[in-house]
A and B are shown apart, each in its own frame.
Chain A
Amino acid sequence: MSSLQMPKVDSSILSKKDKIVSDIGKIINPKNVLSHPDELRPFETDGLTAYRQMPLVVVMPETVEEVSNVLRYCNDNKVKVVPRGAGTGLSGGSLPLEDCVLMAMGKFNKILEIDYDNRCVVTQPCVTNLAITHAVQDKGFYYAPDPSSQIACSIGGNVAENSGGVHSLKYGATTNNLLGIEVVLMDGTITKFGGKAMDSEGYDFLGLMTGSEGLLGVITEVTVKILKSPEIVKAALIGFPTIEDAGNCVAEIIAEGCIPAGMEIMDKALTKATNDYSKAGYPTDAEAMMIVEFDGTEHEVEAYINKAKQIAEKNNSSSLKVSKSNEERLKFWAGRKAAFPACGVLAPDYMCMDGSIPRGKLAEVLREITRLSKKYDLPVANAFHAGDGNLHPLIMFDANDKESLKKCEEFGADILKYCVKVGGALTGEHGVGIEKRELMCEAFNDKDIQQQLTIKVALDPNSLLNPGKVYPILRKCAEEGRVHVHGGKTKFPDIPRF
C-alpha cells in the first residue's frame, strides 16, 4: 500500500474490540459478526486492489432494524463505520479503516417486488445490477444503467456511486433511473426518500444521497425504473485514420440530432489489445475505432444508422461495418467489454482511470495522455464513452514495484487534472473514494468543499460514516495553496477533520 493518509486511528476503539464484538453480537445474530483475521481478510480491499486494510470488525446485518441498531450503537460509541456492497468499486469507496466496523450488506440480496403497472422494481441493495434486468426481461423490460461490472456490482453500490455505463447519454446514470430509496442515517434514523411516484415532496434527498459514496447514509432498499426493451438495436463499427476524425464524427453525429444509445471510441493500443484477446474483427490499422449503437423501432434505427454512416464517411472513415444480426452486434462489443482482461495480458497490473471531458476535447486530451505516458514511461490504452464524454485510460504498471505504483498514481492524477483543465470532471462514474480525494481541490475551491462538508456534518456530526473518503485532507490542499488558512487555522474550525 502506498503512503495514503487515512483518518487517525482511535486506539481506544482498537482496545475495545472484544467489547464491540460482544455488544454488536447482542444487537444482531452473533454469527453475522466477524472478527477473526481469517474472516476479515476477504473484506480488506474492494475493486481498487492497490490499497488494503483490515477492518476491526465485519458485521452483516439482515434487516433494516439491525442496520439501524448497529449504526446507533456505533454513533453512540464513536465507532467509525464503512458500508460495503459487492465490493467492486474502483475508487476505494469501501476500503476499511483499522478502527472501523465494516458494514457488509451482502445479506440484503432479494428482489422485493416487480411492479409492471408502475414500471419499477423494488429491491434490496445487494442484488446485482444485472439481476434486475434478468428478473424483468421475460416481460420485455430492462434496467438501463449498465456499468461494466454489472454482473457483479450491487444496485446499492450503484446508488452510492451514481454509476453510469455505456448508455448514459441516452438513458442517464443511476440518479436518472432511480425512484426511491430507504436509507438509515448514522444516528439510526430509518427513512424513505422517493418511492414509486416520479417526484417526491420537499428537498430532493434522493438526489443528494445518490452518488454520496456512503458518507451520508446506508441504503437498505432501492426502487428503480425499468424500461421497455427497444424493438431493435444496431451498431456500426467504424475505423478512423486519426483521433481528430473520430472526434469530429462524434460531434457531428450529435449536432445532427442523433442520440445514440452508446458511442465508444478506443485508441489504437486498446483496439489492438482487445482484438488480439477476443478476435472481435476490429480494424487494427485504424488510429481510432468507434462503435456507435442505435436502438428503437426499425425505421428509427435505420434512419439513424444511415445518418451516422454518411457522417463517418464525410470524416474520412477508413472502414465501416454495420451489424447484420444481434450476434454480430454483440461481437462488436465483445472486444470492448474485454478491455480489462486484454490489458491484464499486457502488464501485471493496470489502473483504470475515470475522468469526464467535453466530447470535443478528446483529441487534445489523448495527445496529452500520450505525452504523459512517455514522461512516466508507463504504457496506456484508452477507452472513451464518447457519447457522454467519459474517458477511461488504462495505465499499465507493476504493483509489486513500489516505484511503478507511485508513478502510476502520479500519471493518473495528471490525467485527471488535465480533464478538469479542459472543462471536464475528476470522475465520471467511478466516484472519488480515496483514489481522487486529494484532487478535489483541483475542481473545487475551499468554499465549495466546505459547503459539502457542512452537509456531511449536518447528517453525521461526528463524521463517523465512511470517513477519509471523497474529501481531501485539507491540510494537503492548504499546503498546495488552495485552502485559505489564516494564523494556522482553517475556517470552520467546528467541522471535524480526520
Chain B
Amino acid sequence: MEEKQNFQTSLDFSQNIFKPSTREEIVEVVKNCYKKGIPLEISGLQSKNKIGRNFQAEKTLDLSNYKGIIDYKPEELYIKVKAGTPIIEIEEVLEKNNQQLAFEPNDFGFLFSGESNSGSIGGVVACNFAGSRRFKVGSVRDHLLGFQGVNGKGETIKSGGTVVKNVTGYDLCKILSGSFGTLTVLTEISIKVLPKPETSKTLIIKNPHVKKALDYLGQSLSSSTDPSGGVFYPDYFGKNFILNDLTHDGGLTGIRIEGPMNSVDQRIDRLSKELALIDNEFSVLDSVQTKIFWNKTKNLEVFKNSKSNLIRIVVPISETLQVIQKLKKDDLNYFIDWGGSLIWMAYDHLNSKILSEIKEITKNHQGYYTLIKIEDDFKASADIFTIDPIKYKISEKIKKSFDPKRIFNPGKMYTGI
C-alpha cells in the first residue's frame, strides 16, 4: 500500500536528469530506479564529480535544487542543512556568528575548472576530504553529527542526531562519509560547527629541503604550542605566494597558530625558539595573510590550470620522506599538508606501470593513494581508489546492505561496488 501511494506523484520518469526539490521526489526517483534496476548517478554542484572511476548510469539525480538551511543553533554548535546546500552559503551564515566548519573543506574548483567551486555539503561529506586542520580537529567524518538519507530501496533512514555525544546504534555517519554516494543519497546533514579563533598567524620558514621541513613539522606537532596547520612547499611552488611579509620566493615550511591574540604571539615566539630558527630564516604572516596562505593551500591553488595528473597520498608522518624519495622523479611536483601526512603529487604523465609502483610504495609505507585528477585516456583502466581483497569483500557486503541492486554510483569506487 505504502509503495503504491508514493508512485502516484507527478514525476515524469522518462527524463534522464532529475532535479528534485523535495525529499518525497528523491524517494520516488530512487524507488523507481530500485524497482527497475536502473543505475543512478548522484550529483551535487559538479565540483568533485570528476573524482572516481567512470561508470555507466542511465539517470542522474541532481541535488543542486535540494538546498537550504533547516536549523542553525550557534550556541548548540550545529547546523542542519539539506544535502545540496552550497558550502559557500553555509560558510556565509556561520561567519555572521563568528563560527566555521573547522575541517576546512578543500575547494577542488581551481583544480578542475580554474575557478572556485567548493561544492555542496553533501558532496563534501561523500568525499570526506579535509583541509589543513586535519591533524588537530579531525576529518569531515568527525564533524558529521547526524544525517537523513534514502537508501537503495528508496527507504528514508537516519542515524546520529544534533548532539556531539551519541552512541545510539551503529555510527552510520562514519560509513557514509567518504562513500562517494555509493551507499545512500544524503538528504539532510547535521554538522558540528566551531567558533572561529580570535586570530591566527603563520610562521614561515625559508627552507627548500623536504627532510628539514619534515623535522620542523614533526617537532611543531609534538610541541605544546598546538599548531593547527603544517605545510611544506618545495622551491618550485614557493613563487606562488606573493604576500607582504613573505620575504623570499623559494621553498617554505608554514606552521599556523590560532587562538586569542596574545597567546598566538607567545606561541609563535616560543615555536621559533623551539625550532632554533635564526632571525633571517623565518617570517610571520599576520591574520589576513594567514587566511590567504591557508586558503590557497586548502584550495590546491598551486595546481590551478595545471594539465598534470594529481594524486593524493596519505601515509604516517614517519614514512613521508621515504615515500617522496622513492616517488620523486624530475617531472613531478608536490606539496605536503597535514603536518607531513598528506602528499599532493602531480604527474605530467601517468601509466599503469607508474601507478602500480605508487600503489606498491604507498602500501609498503602503511598508506594509500587516491587519484584525484587523471587524463581521460588512462582513466578507464586506472585504479582510482585502492583496496585489499578482504576489505573488498566486506565492502561488497556493506554495499549490498544499503543498496542491494547496486543502483547508486555503481562502480564509482571499485568494480562491482
Could you list which residues of chain A lie within 8 angstroms of chain B, going by C-beta atoms? 115-119, 140, 161-162, 164, 168-169, 172-173, 175-176, 185, 189, 191, 193, 195-208, 210-212, 216, 228-231, 251-252, 254-259, 296-300, 303-304, 356-360, 385, 388-390, 423-432, 436, 440, 443-444, 447-452, 454-455, 457-459, 470-471
Contacts and interface: CB of A to CB of B under 8 A. Distances in A.
B169 A229 contact: no
Contacts of B411: none
B24 interface: no
A458 B318 contact: no
Given A202-B385, A251-B75, A454-B401, 19 more contacts: A115-B318, A175-B171, A198-B139, A198-B314, A201-B368, A203-B394, A205-B398, A208-B172, A211-B171, A230-B226, A297-B224, A298-B263, A356-B164, A389-B76, A424-B163, A432-B169, A452-B172, A457-B401, A459-B394
Interface string B377-404: 0000000011100110011011011100
Contacts of B223: 228
B222 A389 contact: no
Contacts of A168: 164-165
Interface stretch (B84-92, B152-160, B237-245, B289-297): B152-160
Contacts of B141: 204, 207
B259 interface: yes
A200 B366 CA distance: 9
A206 B142 CA distance: 12
A440 B141 CA distance: 23
A459 B395 CA distance: 10
Of the listed residues B170, B172, B178, B262, the one surrounded by the most CB atoms of chain A closer than 10 A to its CB is B170
Nearest to B148: A448
Interface stretch (B38-46, B112-120, B190-198, B228-236): B190-198
B166 A428 contact: yes
Nearest to A177: B138
Contacts, number: 255
Contact of B260 (A185, A304, A448): A304
The prevalent SS among residues of A at the interface is loop
A429 B169 CA distance: 11
B164 A297 contact: no
A202 B168 contact: no
22 contacts: A117-B317, A162-B167, A189-B394, A197-B366, A197-B368, A201-B391, A202-B386, A202-B391, A202-B395, A208-B170, A296-B226, A297-B263, A358-B163, A424-B163, A425-B161, A427-B167, A430-B167, A448-B158, A451-B151, A451-B401, A454-B401, A455-B401
A356 B224 contact: no
A82 B413 CA distance: 35
Nearest to A419: B163
B163 A164 contact: no
Given A196-B316, A257-B196, A432-B167, A424 B128 contact: no
A222 B295 CA distance: 35
Given A198-B314, A210-B174, A303 B165 contact: no
A427 B166 contact: yes
Given A172-B142, A197-B315, A205-B175, A296 B259 contact: yes
Contact of B77 (A164, A254, A424, A425): A254
A360 B76 contact: yes
B157 A448 contact: yes
B30 to A, nearest CB: 13
A254 B397 CA distance: 42
A173 B267 contact: no
Contacts of A385: 165
Contact of B76 (A210, A358, A448): A358
B409 interface: no
A483 to B, nearest CB: 14
Of the listed residues A202, A252, A443, the one surrounded by the most CB atoms of chain B closer than 10 A to its CB is A202
B226 to A, nearest CB: 7
Contact of B171 (A116, A162, A198, A426): A162
